[in-house]
Structure 1
Amino acid sequence: MKPTEARQNVFQKYEKLGRKLKKLVYDQDEAIDEVIDAFIHMACKPVQSPPRAIFTFIGPPYVGKAYLARSLAALMDDYTAFRQFDMGQYTTPEDETRLLGQVGYDGGQDGELMVFLRSRPRSILLFNEIEKADTRLQNALLEILTGDPQETGLDCSEVLVIFTSTLGSAMYQSRAFMTAVRENRLQAQALIMDAVSKEKKMGLETVQPVISTKLLSVMSQAYLVIFRRLSLDAVVKIGKTTLKTLSRHFSRTTGIELVFEGFVPMVKLLVLSFAPYINTRRIQKRLPDLLLGQITQYVREGHPIPGKAVFRISKAAGTFLKRHYRLSITHSQQLFIRNETIELGWDVETGDDAVTFTLARVARKQLPPAKPLFQDDLPEIKFSATGFDDVAGHGPVKKHLREIISILKKTDKVKAFGIGMPKGMLIHGPAGVGKTLLGKAFAREANLPLVYVSGSDLFDPNFIRQVYQKARVFAPSIVFLDEIDIKGVVEGTLTPISVEQILMELEAVSSDPAEFVFTIVTAQNREDVNPDLVSPGRIDISVEVPELDREARRFFIEKILEKPNDGNIDVDKVIRYISGMSGYELERIGQEAAFYAIRNDLDCITEEILIDQINTIKYGSKLDRKHIRNIEEDLRKTAIHEAAHAVISQTLLPHVKIEQVTITPRSNTLGFVAYTGEDFDDNFTKEEIFNNICVMLSGRIAQIRKFGPSGMDSGSGIDLEQATQLAYSAVAGMGMDEEIGFVHVDTLQHHVEKTMFQGILEKRIQHWIGDASAKAGMLVEKHWDRIEHLASVLIQQEIVDGAELDVLMKGD
Structure 2
Amino acid sequence: MSQNKKNTTNKNIKPPKFNFYWVYGIVLVLFIGYQFFNSGSLSSKNLSQNEFETILTEGDIDKILIVNRDIANIFIKSDALEKEKHKKNKTSLYSINTPMYYYNFGDLQNFEKELNIKKSENNLDFDLKYEEKTNFLEQIFIYLPFIFLIGLWIYFMRRMSGGGAGGGGGQIFSIGKSKAKLFDQDQKVKTSFKDVAGLEGAKEEVQEIVDFLKSPDKYTALGGKIPKGALLVGPPGTGKTLLAKAVAGEAGVPFFSLSGSDFVEMFVGVGASRVRDLFKQAQQKSPSIIFIDEIDAIGRSRGKSNITGGNDERENTLNQLLTEMDGFGTDTNVIVIAATNRADVLDKALMRAGRFDRQIYVDLPDLKEREQIFKVHIKPIKLHKDVDISFLSQQTPGFSGADIANLCNEAALIAARKGKKAVHHQDFLDAVDRIVGGLEKKNKIISPKEKKTIAFHEAGHATASWMLEHAAPLVKVTIVPRGQSLGAAWYLPEERQIVQAEQMLDEMCATLAGRAAEKLMFDKISTGALNDLEKVTRQAKAMVTVYGLNDKIGNITYYDSSGQSDYNFTKPYSEETAQVIDKEISQIIEIQYQRAIQILSDNKDKLITLAELLLEKEVIFKKDLETIFGKRAFEVEPKETTTETNSENSLETEE
Tell me the TM-score normalised to structure 2 length.
0.59
Match of 1:504 among 323, 332, 335: 323
Shift in Å, 1:546: 1.1
Instruction: Name the CA distance, whole Å, in 1 between partners of 2:298 and 2:626.
Output: 47
Q: Name 2:480's counterpart in structure 1.
A: 664
Amino acid of the structure 2 residue aligned with 1:509:
F
1:292-324 CA distances to partner (integer Å, 9 max, x unpaired)?
xxxxxxxxxxxxxxxxxxxxxxxxxxxxxxxxx
Amino acid of the structure 2 residue aligned with 1:532:
A
Would the alpha carbon gap of residues 455 and 601 (structure 1) be closer, same or farther in structure 2, given more than 3 Å must change? farther
Partner secondary structure for residue 532 of structure 1:
helix
Q: Name 1:676's counterpart in structure 2.
A: 492
Mapping 1:211-610, distance limit 5 Å? 373=185, 382-406=187-211, 411-412=216-217, 414-415=219-220, 420-454=225-259, 456-459=261-264, 460-486=271-297, 498-512=317-331, 515-558=332-375, 559-560=377-378, 562-610=380-428
Instruction: Name the CA distance, whole Å, in 1 between partners of 2:605 and 2:388.
Output: 30
Instruction: Name the CA distance, whole Å, in 2 between partners of 1:694 and 1:570.
Output: 33
Shift in Å, 1:523: 0.9
Instruction: Name the CA distance, whole Å, in 2 between partners of 1:413 and 1:565.
Output: 47
Q: Name 1:729's counterpart in structure 2.
A: 542
Partner secondary structure for residue 452 of structure 1:
strand
Would the alpha carbon gap of residues 799 and 503 (structure 1) be closer, same or farther in structure 2, given more than 3 Å must change? farther
Shift in Å, 1:590: 3.4
Partner secondary structure for residue 385 of structure 1:
coil
Shift in Å, 1:454: 3.0
Partner secondary structure for residue 355 of structure 2:
coil
Answer yes or no: is the 8 Å Cα contact 2:459–2:607 preserved in 1: yes
Instruction: Name the CA distance, whole Å, in 2 between partners of 1:649 and 1:411.
Output: 57
Shift in Å, 1:484: 1.8
Instruction: Name the CA distance, whole Å, in 1 between partners of 2:319 and 2:373.
Output: 39
Q: Name 2:645's counterpart in structure 1.
A: none
Partner secondary structure for residue 674 of structure 1:
strand
Shift in Å, 1:604: 3.6
Answer yes or no: is the 8 Å Cα contact 2:558–2:572 preserved in 1: no
Answer yes or no: is the 8 Å Cα contact 2:176–2:273 preserved in 1: yes
Give the paired residue count. Answer: 443
Answer yes or no: is the 8 Å Cα contact 1:485–1:496 preserved in 2: no
Instruction: Name the CA distance, whole Å, in 2 between partners of 1:806 and 1:408.
Output: 58
1:610-649 CA distances to partner (integer Å, 9 max, x unpaired)?
3222222222222243x3331x433333332223223322
Instruction: Name the CA distance, whole Å, in 1 between partners of 2:439 and 2:345.
Output: 32
Amino acid of the structure 2 residue aligned with 1:781:
S
Shift in Å, 1:811: 5.2
Would the alpha carbon gap of residues 386 and 802 (structure 1) be closer, same or farther in structure 2, given more than 3 Å must change? farther
Amino acid of the structure 2 residue aligned with 1:683:
I
1:425-479 CA distances to partner (integer Å, 9 max, x unpaired)?
0112122111111111122333433122237534355444443333222211111
Shift in Å, 1:665: 1.0
Would the alpha carbon gap of residues 402 and 746 (structure 1) be closer, same or farther in structure 2, given more than 3 Å must change? closer
* 1:742 is the counterpart of 2:547: no
Shift in Å, 1:746: 7.7
1:218-264 CA distances to partner (integer Å, 9 max, x unpaired)?
xxxxxxxxxxxxxxxxxxxxxxxxxxxxxxxxxxxxxxxxxxxxxxx
Shift in Å, 1:802: 5.1
Instruction: Name the CA distance, whole Å, in 2 between partners of 1:457 and 1:134.
Output: 17
* 1:686 is the counterpart of 2:488: no
Answer yes or no: is the 8 Å Cα contact 1:565–1:604 preserved in 2: yes
Amino acid of the structure 1 residue aligned with 2:537:
T
Would the alpha carbon gap of residues 478 and 487 (structure 1) be closer, same or farther in structure 2, given more than 3 Å must change? closer
Q: Name 1:755's counterpart in structure 2.
A: 575
Would the alpha carbon gap of residues 507 and 794 (structure 1) be closer, same or farther in structure 2, given more than 3 Å must change? same
Would the alpha carbon gap of residues 640 and 545 (structure 1) be closer, same or farther in structure 2, given more than 3 Å must change? same
Shift in Å, 1:789: 4.0
Match of 2:603 among 783, 790, 793: 783
Would the alpha carbon gap of residues 202 and 639 (structure 1) be closer, same or farther in structure 2, given more than 3 Å must change? same
Answer yes or no: is the 8 Å Cα contact 2:460–2:600 preserved in 1: yes
Would the alpha carbon gap of residues 503 and 611 (structure 1) be closer, same or farther in structure 2, given more than 3 Å must change? same
Q: Name 2:584's counterpart in structure 1.
A: 764
Q: Which runs of 5+ in 1 are unaligned?
A: 1-91, 99-128, 136-198, 204-369, 375-381
Answer yes or no: is the 8 Å Cα contact 2:472–2:507 preserved in 1: no
1:479-502 CA distances to partner (integer Å, 9 max, x unpaired)?
1112223489xxxx9996943443
Answer yes or no: is the 8 Å Cα contact 2:183–2:255 preserved in 1: no
Q: Name 1:639's counterpart in structure 2.
A: 455
Amino acid of the structure 1 residue aligned with 2:352:
S
Shift in Å, 1:519: 0.7
Would the alpha carbon gap of residues 721 and 456 (structure 1) be closer, same or farther in structure 2, given more than 3 Å must change? closer
Q: Which runs of 5+ in 2 are unaligned?
A: 1-151, 159-167, 265-270, 300-307, 633-655
Instruction: Name the CA distance, whole Å, in 1 between partners of 2:606 and 2:196.
Output: 44
Answer yes or no: is the 8 Å Cα contact 1:465–1:505 preserved in 2: yes
Range moving further from structure 2, 768-777 or 779-788: 779-788
Would the alpha carbon gap of residues 97 and 700 (structure 1) be closer, same or farther in structure 2, given more than 3 Å must change? closer
Amino acid of the structure 1 residue aligned with 2:326:
E
Q: Name 2:154's counterpart in structure 1.
A: 94
Partner secondary structure for residue 630 of structure 2:
helix
1:376-402 CA distances to partner (integer Å, 9 max, x unpaired)?
xxxxxx542222122111222222322
Instruction: Name the CA distance, whole Å, in 1 between partners of 2:499 and 2:553.
Output: 19
Amino acid of the structure 1 residue aligned with 2:291:
F
Structure 1 or 2, whichever has the larger Rg, is 2
Amino acid of the structure 2 residue aligned with 1:723:
V
Q: Which structure is richer in relative contact order (CA contacts within 8 A, separation 6 or more)? A: 2
Mapping 1:156-235, distance limit 5 Å? none
Answer yes or no: is the 8 Å Cα contact 1:384–1:449 preserved in 2: no
Instruction: Name the CA distance, whole Å, in 2 between partners of 1:654 and 1:762.
Output: 26
Shift in Å, 1:688: 2.2
Answer yes or no: is the 8 Å Cα contact 2:260–2:296 preserved in 1: no
Amino acid of the structure 2 residue aligned with 1:450:
F
Instruction: Name the CA distance, whole Å, in 2 between partners of 1:805 and 1:622.
Output: 23
Answer yes or no: is the 8 Å Cα contact 2:470–2:507 preserved in 1: no
Answer yes or no: is the 8 Å Cα contact 2:371–2:389 preserved in 1: yes
Would the alpha carbon gap of residues 93 and 582 (structure 1) be closer, same or farther in structure 2, given more than 3 Å must change? farther
Amino acid of the structure 2 residue aligned with 1:697:
L
Instruction: Name the CA distance, whole Å, in 2 between partners of 1:621 and 1:458.
Output: 40
Select the structure that is richer in strand.
1
Instruction: Name the CA distance, whole Å, in 2 between partners of 1:393 and 1:807.
Output: 38
Range moving further from structure 2, 420-429 or 479-488: 479-488
Answer yes or no: is the 8 Å Cα contact 2:479–2:487 preserved in 1: yes
Answer yes or no: is the 8 Å Cα contact 2:471–2:510 preserved in 1: no
Instruction: Name the CA distance, whole Å, in 2 between partners of 1:804 and 1:496.
Output: 59
Instruction: Name the CA distance, whole Å, in 2 between partners of 1:200 and 1:532.
Output: 24
Q: Name 2:468's counterpart in structure 1.
A: 652
Shift in Å, 1:202: 9.2
Q: Name 2:148's counterpart in structure 1.
A: none
Partner secondary structure for residue 660 of structure 1:
strand
What is the identity percentage for the equivalent residue pairs of Structure 1 and Structure 2? 27
Would the alpha carbon gap of residues 715 and 385 (structure 1) be closer, same or farther in structure 2, given more than 3 Å must change? same
Q: Name 2:439's counterpart in structure 1.
A: 621
Answer yes or no: is the 8 Å Cα contact 2:177–2:277 preserved in 1: no
Instruction: Name the CA distance, whole Å, in 2 between partners of 1:644 and 1:521.
Output: 48
Instruction: Name the CA distance, whole Å, in 2 between partners of 1:743 and 1:534.
Output: 28
Would the alpha carbon gap of residues 482 and 687 (structure 1) be closer, same or farther in structure 2, given more than 3 Å must change? same
Partner secondary structure for residue 770 of structure 1:
helix
